Amino acid sequence: MPVKFICRLLVVRTESGKLRVQYGYLGDDCVRMLTVHGPQMVIPPSGEMTDEEFSRWEFELVAGTGFYYSLSNTPISSALVEATRTYEEHITKGTVQAELAWVQNEGGERTLAVRVTNGWTRPVPRFSLSTECHYDAPQPEQIGSVQAHALGGSESMFHPMGPILGDDLWTRVTVGFYLDPAMMVPLRSRVAALSTESYWIALRTDGQEFDRIPGEVLGAFLEAGEEELDA
């Protein structure tokens, strides 16, 4: 089984005005936090960097290397580095069925939902969904006072509909998840701007993608939903 590392690093502004990437207490003041997933532990640069040098380092870290960034709420008590064995290579594609739907949250906002049914022979450990995108070229992005270049992103902003038992997706059980309505605008923007190969919804086990709802399916569903609203 493969091993996955999750590394949580801080980007801090030093007295010299430069940036340093380091491990440290997650509650300390920082420019931003980097949550990096990948095949090994991230060793931060030993020296300070200008904003431009940091932007280049941040881009090169995930440019075809097997690493990727994720955005999620991280408690300050989280481990700085986690290493776990994962099962994504053992789950046959299509075994976990995923169906798109429209739902309303408690506030009456219309948003995207995914209903998943586990047809695998065992529970899927720590199941989750995320919206994914990969830009055709690096895009400039301002994060706080730092100018960065983004290759894309992974956002875990799906919430379970109704009570569920733990984090695992149990065999022959159907569970629904709705996307945070605040994410609908950026999702539609990406669908409108990118090719269908550049965005998708990932099905994950312990943070690792094992299958996906492809962009062509997601894009067609969103377009049909817009047509329903206009009718």
The whole-number pLDDT of residue 227 equals 64
Which residues, 6 or more positions from 175, have their beta carbon under 8 angstroms from its beta carbon?
A: 115, 116, 160, 161, 164, 169
Structure tokens at 65: 């290397």
Co-location of 203 and 156 in the same domain: yes
Per-residue confidence (pLDDT) for residue 79, from 0 to 100: 95
Coil vs helix vs strand at 82 = strand
Range of the domain at 44: 3-85
Instruction: Note the pLDDT of residue 162.
Output: 74
Both 101 and 163 in one domain: the answer is: yes
Query: Going residue by residue through the chain (231 aa), what tens digit of pLDDT does each one get?
Result: 578 899 999 999 999 999 999 999 999 999 999 999 888 999 999 999 999 999 989 988 987 788 888 877 789 999 999 998 778 888 999 999 999 999 987 788 899 999 999 999 999 988 999 998 877 665 555 444 545 555 566 777 899 987 677 889 999 989 999 999 999 998 998 899 889 999 999 999 988 889 999 999 999 999 998 766 655
Same domain, 108 and 189: yes
Q: Rounded CA gap, 132 and 154, in Å? A: 5
Report the first-to-last Cα separation within the chain, whole angstroms. Answer: 50
| Residue 208 neighbours by CB distance under 10 Å | 20
- Whether residues 106 and 215 share a domain: the answer is yes
What pLDDT is stored for residue 158 in this prediction?
Answer: 93
Answer for the pair 148, 165: CB distance below 8 angstroms, yes or no.
Answer: no
Q: Among the three residues 85, 114, 147, which one is the final residue of a domain in this structure?
A: 85
Domain count of the fold of the chain: 2
Would you state the pLDDT for residue 150?
56
Alpha carbon separation from 221 to 90, 99, 145, 215 (Å, rounded)? 29, 10, 37, 10
Cα 26 from Cα 30, distance rounded (Å): 9
pLDDT of residue 196: 93
